[in-house]
Amino acid sequence: MKELEILNRPRRLRSNLILRNMVRETRMDKASLIYPIFVKEGQGIKEEISSMENQFRYSVDMLPYALEEIAKSGVSSVMLFGIPNKKDECGSGAWMQEGVVQKALMKAKSEHPELYYITDVCMCEYTSHGHCGMLKGEMVDNDKTLPLLAKTALSHVQAGADMVAPSDMMDGRVKAIRNLLDSNNYTDTPIMSYAVKYASAFYGPFREAAGSAPAFGDRKAYQMDYHNRKEAIKEALTDISEGADIIMVKPALSYLDIIREVSNEINIPLAAYSVSGEYAMIKAASKLGYIQEDNMICETATSIYRAGAGILLTYYAKELAKFMDEGRIG
């Protein structure tokens, strides 16, 4: 048999684990993970979210137990979402000194100061109508909402937030927040902007978890149309020009092309949010025996990093940290 003359053999670099790890193109570590957590008013509460198996709502007094578990996993950053008891037309609970996120921050900082605390800045959990700002008729009034978002961000930072993350998708909100933080001597507090946030069906379980579904209509007048690609670049560059320090793409799995495009265009860190619907689908398919959950967690997370994200918000943060320790991913 004539000897084949194959000069380029890609399999050479796949022959054993040490070599595969050496030439790995996509690398992740635990410092890049952010764990989202829901905090609600009340006492003694740890209640499972029905649409998100093994995810919970915690009252402020129970929060330290969750934070201890997060810290032990090796995850160092959390994103706090607040669930108030009372809501009103303007979402005033969002910026109250005794608001649920503000109280959670003070408790968290006293019990687990080693963790890094990021807060979601939005109105939808706090408004009686479930939209992300002040209403004018049945439309959100962009400009009247901006000072409320800025006031909310400032209240979070005053309560101990290390970073704020506006998720409302109002035009100009990054600039409004940056200006108010700077004028109050919080010039070193970073802003992670949900700059590229699509109107998505993947948010369903989150809205059940946070009680933030709109009472009427939808959010397509302010969240992005998922048909649009170039608009993502426009949104990202606009927020950078207004002072954003980190840009986020949300959701993640159906928007890997967007993550790559934005990554190619910007020169600041890029985050992606693997949202509730993505988590719920993996959980459901695993429960039915259709997939192997651990392998799916590793593969989907890697795809997000491979697409260009350097930071990942995910409900699987603790599991991913474990898999990184075991060398299964990273």
pLDDT score, position 215: 63
Whole-number Å distance between alpha carbons of 230 and 206: 27
**Catalytic pick from 87, 175, 197, 322?**
197
pLDDT score, position 94: 92
Whole-number Å distance between alpha carbons of 217 and 203: 15
pLDDT score, position 120: 95
pLDDT score, position 40: 95
Backbone angles phi, psi at 140, to 5 degrees: -75, 130
- CATH number of the structural domain 28-326: 3.20.20.70
Going from N- to C-terminal start, the domains of the chain cover 28-326
What DSSP letter does each residue of 151-210 carry, written as one string? Answer: HHHHHHHHHT-SEEEE-S--TTHHHHHHHHHHHTT-TT--BEEEEEEB--GGGHHHHHHH
pLDDT score, position 293: 98
Strand partners, 59: 40
Q: Would you call 136 a catalytic residue per the annotation?
A: no
Q: Are 243 and 257 in contact (CB under 8 A)?
A: no
Q: Would you call 144 a catalytic residue per the annotation?
A: no
292 three-class SS: coil
Neighbours of 292 (CB within 10 A): 12
- Per-position pLDDT tens, the chain of length 330: 566 788 688 898 899 888 888 888 888 999 999 999 999 999 999 999 999 999 999 999 999 999 999 999 999 999 999 999 998 888 888 999 999 999 999 999 999 999 999 999 998 889 988 788 878 888 889 999 999 999 999 999 999 999 999 999 999 999 999 999 999 999 999 999 999 999 999 998 877 766 666 666 567 788 999 999 999 999 999 999 999 999 999 999 999 999 999 999 999 999 999 999 999 999 999 999 999 999 999 999 999 999 999 999 999 999 999 999 999 988
pLDDT score, position 261: 97
Global pTM?
A: 0.93
